[in-house]
Amino acid sequence: MNLLKISKALADGTRYKILKILMANGEISCGELEDHFTLSQPTISHHLKILYDCELVSVKKDGQHSLLSVNKKMLEKYFETLKMELVK
């Protein structure tokens, strides 16, 4: 786990919203996700790549669709590490 990379990924309003949408909707495709934004498709794709690269979001290929979901394990691990490093 790259702590700083995850922190940077979380430090953007669009990506934070993506995570909230994915948490609320479970597995959805990129297209469905895009419907929640006025941003262009490449922009959403770019943000998804950042979330994927730090392993906060998982992608399951299903034909021409990509099913997205939050890697809750990684999110939990991030919270715990942050708390441990900073607070304890």
Smallest distance, a second copy to C-beta of residue 86, A: 6
48 binds DNA (CB under 7 A): yes
Q: Dihedral sign for Cα 61, 36, 49, 19, please.
A: negative
Q: Where are the alpha helices (DSSP H) in 26-71?
A: 30-34, 41-53
Among 1, 40, 73, 80, binds DNA (CB under 7 A): 40
Q: Which stretches of the chain bind DNA, using CB under 7 A? A: 8, 11-12, 14, 29-31, 34, 38-43, 45-50, 59, 61, 63-66
